[in-house]
Structure 1
Amino acid sequence: MAVRSMATYRNHDGMNALSLIDRKKPTPSIPPSEKVFLGSNLITKWMTGVKYYGLQKTIEQAYTLGDIKFGECVGTDVNGNQYFENLDYPHGQHRWVEYADIHNYDAASVPPEWHGWMTHMQDAPGSDAREFITEKLKTKLEIDKGDHSIYDHHVGHTTYEMDTLLNHTMHRKRGFNIGGIKQKPEEEDKYHKHAGSA
């Protein structure tokens, strides 16, 4: 009998932990022509999940999503998160994200162009939305140039890098000389501290 090796991941305390769930390959895309919508039949979902994904991937999806879903992969963002859609699912459940880091996932790792697609503010997914945003910025209203402007420090649209958009609440040490999820033990904390805080 073959012994399965355990995967390691960085835990909330910054230490390495072991897990039976490791992501060796991404979730396969199921084309809309397959018409896989099983409602709430749990046994059929698990059997179909094993058929399309294999046992390990089915367990991983149940662990991360709390459900087993089948859909077409619409794209991947700069952080490695995958975005799926299945229009046969009820509205509000037909778009979902599978995070690259399945043990320490953070909703702040979804970039703005994908957030707009996930929340139905735009129909264009991901990189297609970049063209839409660029076109909209050409017609933006300058609110800080007139005499009636109350703000003299408005900077308008700025380019961004995904690292600066992450929620820095998790960028702190978990103990003396112990790192965190996103930092090494010798790095300084990045989370915001108010003036005068200890």
Structure 2
Amino acid sequence: LLPEPKPEPKPEPKPEPKADIEVKKEPPKPEPPKPKEEPKKPEVKKPEVKKPPVVKKPPQDDALEKLKQAMLEDQPNLDSSAAPAGPPAMSAAQQGEIDKYGALLESIIKPRINNQLCGTGKPVLEYQIVLMPTGDLLGEPKLLSSSGIGACDEAVYRAIKLSSPLPKPPPSILQGSRELNLKFRPND
């Protein structure tokens, strides 16, 4: 019998050479410099303010003060009885004329509004404008109540600006405040 051949040991695989990759280490971050302590300033003592001595009023001033006080008590309190601050009271005829003029302005401005930007709902918005006697706008239209749709609010704003100059306001508007509040319903 022949002797069994010895199995040859398998050659060990050569390890693949590792790629030369340098791992860059971040240099240590320098610590932020400590704030320098400012030299302490000597405390400046404020000079004490001396109150002027109380000078007694001559008797005439006392009598004058009493008279003023008595007059104030006799007069009704003007602050509480006065009308609330705001536009002066107008007659019904004046208010009617202002409403009529406002409707005229709305009819001039409304055709210039891009309704497509206002969606399909029924948005309502209000702008305040200030008019010069010539009908020109004084300043920018001010949005008082939004429709909730920014593009719609902007479309009405542009329409107001494009409509200037507007027809001259009637004399009743020129006498009082030239501010007008205009309501718009672009989809009506």
TM-score clears 0.5: no
Name the larger-Rg structure. 2
Bigger fraction of residues in helix: 2
Kindly indicate whether structure 1 or structure 2 has the higher relative contact order, using CA contacts under 8 Å at least 6 residues apart: 2
